């Protein structure tokens, strides 16, 4: 598997481009911190530098997992789902009253969902959490014997599972498109998804810091601006169109898919911001310096990954799924 990935020119080009981009961003952040004249500029460059160092770790982990093969990539995202759901549980789930349901979600639901992905059992994978876990959680919360806030407690855990486990499990599920004839097809789809969605986040942040004047949703996320949104989405869409050769899409189709991914990624971040504001928090945690918690980093994939997976599978088919 590693040999097949290393021999694919497309993967090599994207990997080299990513490393070059991170190197440039690191240099920009460090130089900016030392030469900026205003306090605000120094703060922006310092934030860029902190975020870039965290990105080095995340990109290294992702590339290592991709190159090592589907099993490692699957394990990586299972761990990400566990950390994200644990962060969500701390804020949105009554662990004392619903320890049975929460324990089952962390210990059983995550391994089960990713096992279904591993064995390419699409029929069950697509409905296991939305249907069976939905019923199981409702029953487990009812069996706690505590009826107060029953609906809130049950739906909180159900929503957490759908967001942190079901949505994210569609990222490594793309690797099912790898086949004997096209050993890197799924890997390239995964890279395309991650690059477009995450670069949209980064570019919205950069455009917002440089040009942002008009908040787009001040009650949810004061730092998100119309200028940042427009600049980031437009640039990331153009980037996705330029990376059409990673996908089975034409350049125009890749542009349309990229635009959809950017919009879904933005909405995912906005929804998570609404949840955090409801809890009076800025970030879900401090696991990733400059990025907050794990859920802060993957919130844009929650809606984007399932839609990308199912649309691509519907229109082009996956040999193994």
Per residue in 203-256, pLDDT (tens digit) is 888 888 878 889 998 888 888 899 999 999 999 999 999 999 999 999 999 999
Distances (CA, A) of 194 to 18, 52, 207, 243, 261: 12, 16, 20, 12, 10
pLDDT at residue 188 in the model: 92
Contact 48, 28 (CB under 8 A): yes
Residue 30 lies in a domain: yes
Residue 125 lies in a domain: yes
Residue with tokens 């890997």: 187
pLDDT at residue 176 in the model: 86
Domain around 198? 2-316
Residue 10 lies in a domain: yes
Residues lower than pLDDT 50 in the chain: none
Single pTM value for the model? 0.90
Domain count, the chain: 1
What whole-number distance in Å separates Cα of residue 175 and Cα of residue 68? 12
Per residue in 266-299, pLDDT (tens digit) is 999 999 988 888 888 777 776 766 667 888 888 9
List the alpha helices (DSSP H) in the chain: 2-6, 9-35, 39-68, 70-92, 99-104, 110-118, 122-125, 134-143, 150-161, 168-173, 185-211, 226-242, 251-278, 294-298, 301-316
Residue 112 lies in a domain: yes
Residue 321 lies in a domain: no
């Amino acid at each position: 598997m590693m040999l097949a990935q290393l021999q694919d020119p497309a993967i090599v080009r994207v990997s080299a481009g990513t490393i070059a981009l991170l190197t440039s961003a690191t240099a920009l952040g460090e130089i900016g911190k030392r030469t900026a004249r205003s306090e605000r500029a120094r703060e922006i460059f310092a934030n860029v530098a902190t975020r870039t160092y965290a990105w080095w770790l995340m990109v290294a982990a992702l590339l290592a997992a991709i190159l090592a093969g589907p099993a490692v990539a699957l394990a990586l995202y299972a761990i990400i789902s566990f950390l994200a759901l644990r962060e969500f549980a701390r804020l949105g789930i009554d662990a004392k009253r619903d320890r049975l349901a929460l324990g089952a979600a962390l210990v059983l639901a995550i391994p089960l969902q990713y096992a279904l992905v591993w064995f390419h059992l699409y029929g069950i994978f697509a409905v296991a959490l939305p249907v069976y876990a939905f019923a199981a959680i409702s029953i487990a919360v009812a069996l706690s014997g505590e009826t107060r806030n029953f609906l809130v407690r049950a739906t909180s855990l159900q929503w957490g599972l759908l967001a942190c486990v079901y949505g994210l499990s569609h990222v490594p599920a793309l690797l099912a498109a790898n086949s004997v004839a096209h050993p890197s097809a799924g890997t390239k789809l995964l890279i395309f998804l991650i690059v477009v969605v995450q670069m949209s986040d980064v570019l919205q942040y950069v455009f917002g810091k440089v040009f942002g004047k008009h908040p787009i949703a001040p009650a949810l996320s004061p730092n998100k601006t119309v200028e940042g949104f427009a600049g980031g989405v437009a640039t990331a869409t153009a980037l996705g169109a330029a990376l059409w050769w990673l996908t089975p899409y034409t350049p125009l189709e890749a542009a349309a898919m990229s635009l959809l991914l950017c919009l879904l990624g933005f909405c995912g971040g906005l929804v998570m911001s609404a949840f955090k504001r409801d809890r009076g928090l800025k970030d879900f945690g401090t696991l990733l310096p400059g990025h907050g918690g794990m859920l802060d980093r993957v919130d844009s994939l929650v809606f984007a990954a399932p839609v990308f997976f199912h649309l691509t599978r519907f229109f082009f088919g996956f040999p193994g799924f």
